[in-house]
Amino acid sequence: MTTETLTATQERARPQPRRLALGSWLLSGYGIVGYLFLYLPIIIVVIFSFNDSRSTAKWAGFTIDWYREMLADRQIILSLWNSLFVAIVSTAISTVMGTLAAMGLERYSFRGKLAVDSILYLPIIIPDIAMAIMLLIFFNVSGIGFEPWRVQFLGNRLAVPYSVIIGHVAFNISFVAVVVRARLANMDRTLEEAAQDLYANTWQTFRRVTLPMLMPGILGGALLAFTLSLDDFVITFFTSGAGFNTLPVRVFGMIKKGVTPKINAVSTLMLLFSLALIFISILLRTRAGDEEETIQFGM
Amino acid sequence: MSRSLLFVMLVAVVLVAVACAPPPAPAPAPAQPEQPAAAEQPPAAPEVQPASEIVLYNWSEYIDPEIYTQFKELTGIDVLEDNFSSNEEMLAKLQGGASGYALIVPSDYTVAIMIEEGMLHKLDHDNIPNLVNLSERFRNVPYDPGNVYCVPYQWGTTGIGYDSAVIDAPTSWAAIFEPDPNTPWYGRTTMLDDPRESFAAALTYLGYDINTTDEKQLQEAKEVLIRAKPGLSGYDSDTFEDLVASGENVMAHGWNGDFLVAQEDNENVAYVVPEEGGVVWVDNICIPATATPEQKLAAEMFINYLLEPEVGAQLSEYNYYASPNAAAEEILGEEFLGDPTIYPPPEVLEKLQYIEPVGEMESLYQRLWDEVKSS
Amino acid sequence: MQELLRRNPAARAWALIMPSLVFLLVFFVAPLFIVLIYSFLTRGKYGGVVWQFNPENFQRALDPLYFSTFLRSIYIAVVTTLICLVLGYPLAYWITTRPPGQRNLLMLALMIPFWTNFLIRTYAWLTLLRTNTGLINVSLMSLGVIKKPLPLFANDFAIILGLVYGWLPVMVLPIYAALERLDKSLIEAAQDLYATNRHVFLRVIWPLSLPGVVAGSMLVFIPAIGSFVTPAILGGGKSLMIGNIISNQFLAAHDWPFGSALSTLMMLVMLLGTLIYFRSALREGGGV
């Protein structure tokens, strides 16, 4: 439902259009300020990536040298790809598993549910440093090890850091499940029942009714998982084998020798990359037409 | 949005499926198929071939990447680099069972710990003929006499950096430990966020051994650190030098090379070791016990290469730290060697102490440090 | 098999949960047991453990120093969660009032700042908050608004600001998910019955969005209480949270058993707290 219809119904109910208009203006103003708050440090990061000095605190003129340096740094570029790879893979796995678990837990009651619930929520509760160390010890004690699989893919040597991916999935499942459950808890079940009354089988009901209605929650969970994975340092640091770095691990190492605009340049690149992703998806969407409009995907 | 996001995820799933398919053996095996020949060789055969790729676990920005390229041209061996940001981090990771590293760069007291814990390989000196290039002082470092386990990499000191445009050189630790609201550095000073370094400063000021395990002395040092706290803007081990250079702070407890790098931004940044003394430290390159014979051989070749006079000089020119390599020093030139910030004069050198491992007393240091922080 | 799944709802539930459950049992619960066991062992001299029973770790954890740090962490986490809720709820609500296309973009835009690096964002706040060279103080002073720099850095204000900044989107996300799904006809029905806006909110919108609020609060509170990088950087390293103490046991004091004991205690407290919170919050919500 849009603002206009909401306002319309309220006008019908109570004749106070001026206050309402003011209220929605205030709300919009607040929303914009809220987003500014979120983007303020990002703007600073971008600005100082062009700083003609090692400092990220004092402006000394414009340069693009830091970008040159960054692009020449083979290790940074490699770690950037590693980060994206780990984030995409672990998000995919944890989204599927977390969504299924959320449905199982929210839709049914059975014996042992509390125990399952607790296991599912524990990874959120545990401090990440403790989780990191215990995963490190676990991989070592169990003999699973950390050495990334080296595989040939389209002629490139690709490292698949299964230990890092496992670590990320382990904490992401829970986050996905929490978000999806919040969505499920509020979901109107009459549509599903109606579908079943019309002799849709379980799969059809799921595919055509439940899944679309659940989509905002699933995508929200996936987005959260992707974000947490991309940003994780502690668990990655302890679960990665020799010679495998993600960007946060790289950056953490670099910070010890001083925060330079080179790090800002890397962040700006990440930002550009995500903006490009959004741009592409907008293009795809406009081409896909109106279908999604009716399904109302959450994001 | 949603559709493309889903698409990306689908691609990822396919990617994983493809990637996971080839190795027939599950988890524990994957390392083997790469070097089956080496694994099957009977131990009797002494002919070990160097690994074609090794991983160096190092502090960041500590080595000129050009050196890797040169080494690869010379030997065909690829050197990859991972970074850590503190000795403890590196140690925790290796203690937890991380393997695959052929070379690591721990500081002096950490070397002592690792020797004690059996975490290091003995070096084969036949493979490192360039050891003769080391200065006499670094052939017999206290934590590893005779370079049995490690070769010094770079060295430096811990003292006080300051903004010489604002204040004169703080010649005593009293500048930090007797805070006075009327001084320009009150509230504009940082100390290292490191229990051993900060206690070393306080213990030096009190005239005690910086490696003391006497609880009374440590309590006294704790009181001194708490007294200093109101005059500090924070504890910082990462950006202290930048903060002096930018004018945020006037004084900082920290490592010499960092202040030198900060001089590029602000020429007024200066460094002094207070008259009571300070800490001297040496970073070393060693081979963890988990390295395979092939990796060890390649690692020794790399250590030997680092000890070449030109390469040693290249290293110091890159990271502004003093070289333990006498042959390299000849190339570095008067200006570099004459800089008292990099090479402290003998009378200062005399007053510097090494941080040594204190075993289980580390818990006490940490606990007292927590008390300082929570006060 | 299919027959079983069709007939027995419990079997269906287990089938849905099984992948996650097996994964977490192997890669989470098993490691968790390692932590539990470690918390009763003796420290190795420099990290690791000696296999010797030692209950002292838990006694040490009850030490007033650590206990007061724990209370302080709870205080900071509660304040952070409340601020996130107060700031995040209207933001989530605002997003639901936008047309669907914009909503998608806004939700994505909420997360994008977090695709740049966490440490970098925190250091960017430093650029703004520093006492003498921070952009806020410098601008205010050059405009003549203030004479002496404001204490924006190295205190609880800075820590809470950093935490709120870091976790606000995580609060908005589930609240939005709940609000977006809200049946608008309920609001209309309430309005038709001449409920005031305040009543519509308190009696209809708020109770129905409660699952989102509960999830959001949990997602903020828990990481906030365990955080250790933000307090170290924005707090100027001058104060401690429980997360600092735990990470220091692993990364500085080489005392893994003590670190494990502290983690175990923290998990227990949080598990209890979460359960209580869930129960009471959902009961309150269910009453409507």
C99 and C22, same structural domain? Answer: no
Q: Locate A99 and state its tokens.
A: 């969504």
C12 and C65, same structural domain? Answer: no
Mean pLDDT of the B56-84 span: 90
* A219/B2 touch (CB, cutoff 8 Å), yes or no: yes
Contact status of B261 with chain A (Cβ, < 8 Å): yes
Range of the domain at C17: 1-38
- For residue C271, the model assigns a pLDDT of 77
In whole angstroms, what is the distance from residue B109 CA to residue B282 CA?
A: 9
Task: Tell me which of B6 and B226 has the higher pLDDT.
Answer: B226
**Mean pLDDT of successive 10-residue stretches along chain A, which has 299 residues:** 42 48 83 92 90 78 90 84 92 95 86 83 76 82 78 70 92 89 77 80 80 83 86 86 84 73 85 77 59 34
Which range, of B129-133, B152-156, C53-57, averages the lowest pLDDT? Answer: C53-57
Is pLDDT at B112 greater than 90 in this prediction?
yes
| Chain A residues inside the 8 Å CB shell of B258 | 257-258
Separation in Å, CA of C117 to nearest CA in chain B: 17
C25 and C163, same structural domain? Answer: no
In whole angstroms, what is the distance from residue A164 CA to residue A177 CA?
A: 20
B225 and B94, same structural domain? Answer: no
B352 and B293, same structural domain? Answer: no
Neighbours of chain B (3+ CB pairs under 8 A): A, C
Residues 171-230 of C with CB under 8 A from B: none
Helix (H) or strand (E) run with residue C150 in it? none
Question: Which residues does residue B255 pair with via DSSP β-bridges, in sequence order?
Answer: B158
B168 and B234, same structural domain? Answer: yes
Whether C50 maps to a domain, the answer reads no
* A10/C110 touch (CB, cutoff 8 Å), yes or no: no
Question: Which residues does residue B345 pair with via DSSP β-bridges, in sequence order?
Answer: none
Whether B167 maps to a domain, the answer reads yes
Confidence of residue B144 (pLDDT cuts 50, 70, 90): very high
- For residue A258, the model assigns a pLDDT of 64
C136 and C5, same structural domain? Answer: no
In whole angstroms, what is the distance from residue C68 CA to residue B374 CA?
A: 9
B305 and B160, same structural domain? Answer: no
Residues 66-95 of A with CB under 8 A from C: none
- For residue B15, the model assigns a pLDDT of 39
Mean pLDDT of the C195-214 span: 82
C139 and C271, same structural domain? Answer: yes
Contact status of A101 with chain C (Cβ, < 8 Å): yes
C131 and C69, same structural domain? Answer: yes
- Would you list the domain boundaries of chain A? 1-48, 64-295
Whether B142 maps to a domain, the answer reads yes
B361 and B250, same structural domain? Answer: yes
B57 and B143, same structural domain? Answer: yes
B303 and B244, same structural domain? Answer: no
Residues 186-245 of A with CB under 8 A from C: 186-188, 202, 213, 216-217, 220, 223-224, 226-227, 230-231, 233
Separation in Å, CA of C118 to nearest CA in chain A: 6
Nearest residue in chain B measured CA to CA from C236: B234
Is pLDDT at B79 greater than 50 in this prediction?
yes
| Chain B residues inside the 8 Å CB shell of A243 | 55, 80, 82, 100
Q: Which of A217, A218, A242 is nearest to A164 (CA)?
A: A242
Task: Tell me which of B60 and B52 has the higher pLDDT.
Answer: B52
* C173/A37 touch (CB, cutoff 8 Å), yes or no: no
C224-257 pLDDT per residue, tens: 888 888 888 898 888 888 888 888 887 777 888 8
Residues 5-24 of B with CB under 8 A from A: 5, 8-13, 15-16, 18-20, 22-23
Report how many domains make up chain C.
Answer: 2
Q: Which of B184, B165, B246, A251 is nearest to C126 (CA)?
A: B246
Question: Which residues does residue C146 pair with via DSSP β-bridges, in sequence order?
Answer: none
| Chain A residues inside the 8 Å CB shell of C173 | 179, 220, 223-224
In whole angstroms, what is the distance from residue A79 CA to residue C262 CA?
A: 33
The pTM of this model reads 0.81
C67 and C23, same structural domain? Answer: no
Separation in Å, CA of A299 to nearest CA in chain C: 4
Which range, of A237-241, C6-10, C106-110, averages the lowest pLDDT? Answer: C6-10
* B92/C130 touch (CB, cutoff 8 Å), yes or no: no
Distance of CA A74 to the CA centre of its chain: 26
* C253/B366 touch (CB, cutoff 8 Å), yes or no: yes
Contact status of B56 with chain A (Cβ, < 8 Å): no
Tell whether ipTM is more than 0.85: no
In whole angstroms, what is the distance from residue C170 CA to residue C192 CA?
A: 34
Chains B & C: contacts with CB separation below 8 Å? 98
C34 and C83, same structural domain? Answer: no
- For residue C211, the model assigns a pLDDT of 83
Residue B308 zone, left/alpha/beta (φ > 0; ψ -120 to 50; rest): beta
Question: Which residues does residue C47 pair with via DSSP β-bridges, in sequence order?
Answer: C45
In whole angstroms, what is the distance from residue A1 CA to residue C180 CA?
A: 9
C196 and C147, same structural domain? Answer: yes
Is pLDDT at B308 greater than 90 in this prediction?
yes
* B371/C65 touch (CB, cutoff 8 Å), yes or no: yes
Q: Any residues with CB less than 8 A from the CB of B69 and at least 6 apart, and which? A: none
Determine contact, residues A170/C27, Cβ cutoff 8 Å: yes
Contact status of B349 with chain A (Cβ, < 8 Å): no
C69 and C12, same structural domain? Answer: no
| Chain A residues inside the 8 Å CB shell of C182 | 186
In a 13 Å sphere around the CA of A65, the CA atoms on its Cβ side amount to 9
Separation in Å, CA of C175 to nearest CA in chain A: 8
B215 and B105, same structural domain? Answer: no
Neighbours of chain C (3+ CB pairs under 8 A): A, B
| Chain A residues inside the 8 Å CB shell of C220 | none
Is pLDDT at B151 greater than 80 in this prediction?
yes
Neighbours of chain A (3+ CB pairs under 8 A): B, C
B271 and B212, same structural domain? Answer: yes
Q: What is the CATH number of the domain that holds B195?
A: 3.40.190.10
DSSP at A57: S
B136 and B258, same structural domain? Answer: no
* A242/B60 touch (CB, cutoff 8 Å), yes or no: no
* B83/A245 touch (CB, cutoff 8 Å), yes or no: yes
| Chain B residues inside the 8 Å CB shell of C99 | none
Nearest residue in chain A measured CA to CA from B5: A281
Range of the domain at B257: 156-280+344-374
- The CATH number of A64-295 is 1.10.3720.10
Report how many domains make up chain B.
Answer: 2
Residues 151-170 of C with CB under 8 A from B: 153-154
What is the overall mean pLDDT for chain C?
A: 84
B188 and B97, same structural domain? Answer: no
Selected for mutation to probe chain B from C132, C138, C150, C244 (highest B CB count within 10 Å) is C132
- For residue A148, the model assigns a pLDDT of 77
| DSSP strands (E only) in A154-200 | 156-160
- For residue A19, the model assigns a pLDDT of 52
Instruction: Name the residue facing B100 among A141, A143, A243 (closest C-beta).
Output: A243
Separation in Å, CA of A270 to nearest CA in chain C: 6
- For residue B29, the model assigns a pLDDT of 38
Mean pLDDT of the C276-280 span: 73
- For residue B102, the model assigns a pLDDT of 95
Whether B78 maps to a domain, the answer reads yes
Q: Biggest alpha carbon distance in chain B?
A: 74
A115-124, A190-199, B270-279, C28-37: which is most confident = B270-279
